[in-house]
């Protein structure tokens, strides 16, 4: 069974998320929206399929990373979230919540052995792209 297939996103705390997004846009050329930037790439196993990774600065006061005390959270792309969660339960990995489903994918949060909260995402890249387009967002390529 495949577990992680790639990085789905990098999330980090920031004193001023709007200013940091603008700085990255101006100095590093990221296409940004109100959430950060979406990197568009093509999947190695089938290079005709697009994939996406999210880069998002959060307010330094966010509680989204709790119970972790860290200033960051990594989102990993996975292939079959339900099967993976069942396997992780057997391996006594801390599962923080139930799987949530949206048009653009399924999500669950776990903790690693050092207290890092991890977000697992089984993406629906077609719907994720449609969501971005409906917001008028551009991707960083």
Domain 4-135 grouped into CATH 3.40.50.300: no
Which residue shows structure tokens 């396997």?
87
Question: What's the CA gap between 6 and 13, in Å, rounded?
Answer: 22
Locate 65 and state its tokens.
Answer: 């990373």
> Which residue ranges in the chain fall short of pLDDT 70?
none
Decide if 92 contacts 23 (C-beta within 8 A).
no
Would you state the pLDDT for residue 1? 76
Q: Which of 24, 60, 43 is nearest to 140 (CA)?
A: 24
């Amino acid at each position: 069974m495949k577990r992680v297939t790639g990085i789905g996103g990098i999330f980090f705390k920031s004193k001023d998320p709007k200013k940091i997004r603008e700085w990255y846009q101006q100095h590093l050329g990221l296409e940004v929206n109100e959430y950060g930037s979406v990197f568009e790439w093509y999947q190695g196993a089938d290079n005709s399929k697009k994939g996406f990774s999210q880069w998002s600065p959060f307010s330094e006061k966010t509680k989204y990373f709790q119970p972790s005390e860290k200033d960051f959270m990594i989102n990993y792309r996975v292939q079959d979230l339900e099967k993976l969660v069942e396997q992780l339960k057997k391996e006594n990995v801390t599962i923080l919540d139930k799987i949530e489903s949206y048009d653009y994918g399924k999500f669950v949060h776990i903790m690693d052995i050092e207290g890092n909260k991890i977000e697992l995402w089984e993406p629906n890249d077609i719907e994720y792209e449609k969501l971005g387009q409906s917001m008028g967002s551009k991707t960083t390529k």
